[in-house]
Amino acid sequence: MFTGIVEAVGKVQAIAVNGQGARVTIACQGLDMADVKLGDSIATNGVCLTVVDYSQNSFSADVSTETLKRTGFAYYQIGQPVNLEKAMLPTTRFGGHIVSGHVDAVVEITRIERQGNSWDFHLTMPTEVAPYLAEKGSVTIDGTSLTVNSVADSSFRLTIVPHTTEQTIISQYQVGTKVNLEVDVIARYLERLLLARTGGAEQSTASSGVTESLLQKAGFIK
């Protein structure tokens, strides 16, 4: 598990494609590798990767075909900057939100606007992701824990403060940039709970299955 607080920015150093997917090597000079061991997890642009080899300044991990299909690794090139975070410890300060490192969708930035000393980023989202995003809720973009400022039918808006821009790869985003998105895991568990409490009998056109009548049956709204 991770918190979405980026510890360092690294770069893709090598990509070796094989029959099972690919082995990637990430240069990570800014990441403290002193306590890293084989088998440890490091979130790389929000994707949980298992360390299979490492040095003081880099680590390697295997990326499955499934991961290549469902994340930004499908189009990453040598030199691609990536956000890095080691798995959280029980003693870690929990500054973000619960992040699993399992990407739900790749979404695209459609508009960037300056707002005072911050930036507004507008992003598209597929219909199957929309029910899990809520205004002032949490979302993970390329491994960074962010707050959703507004939600529309097929898009949402983020406001990024200068510190976050400076400490992550967000400063390199442009209109058209594709990023990894992970919804708040609590939203997924809530959906599962609601469906279980109603026996899963209700059918919905919404891909998540969460409807107003379902919430009423579960006693969450009147």
Residues 115 and 49 both lie in one domain = no
Domain count, the chain: 3
pLDDT digits (tens, 9 = 90+) for 115-132: 999 999 999 999 999 999
97 falls within a domain: no
Residues 176 and 109 both lie in one domain = yes
pLDDT digits (tens, 9 = 90+) for 8-57: 999 999 999 988 899 999 999 999 999 999 999 999 999 999 999 999 99
Is the per-residue pLDDT at 176 higher than 60?
A: yes
210 falls within a domain: yes
94 falls within a domain: no
* pTM of full prediction above 0.75: yes
- Here the CATH number for the domain that contains residue 79 is 2.40.30.20
Domain that holds residue 201: 187-217
Neighbours of 30 (CB within 10 A): 11
pLDDT given for residue 211 in this prediction? 60
Residues 167 and 153 both lie in one domain = yes
pLDDT given for residue 201 in this prediction? 45
Residues 122 and 148 both lie in one domain = yes
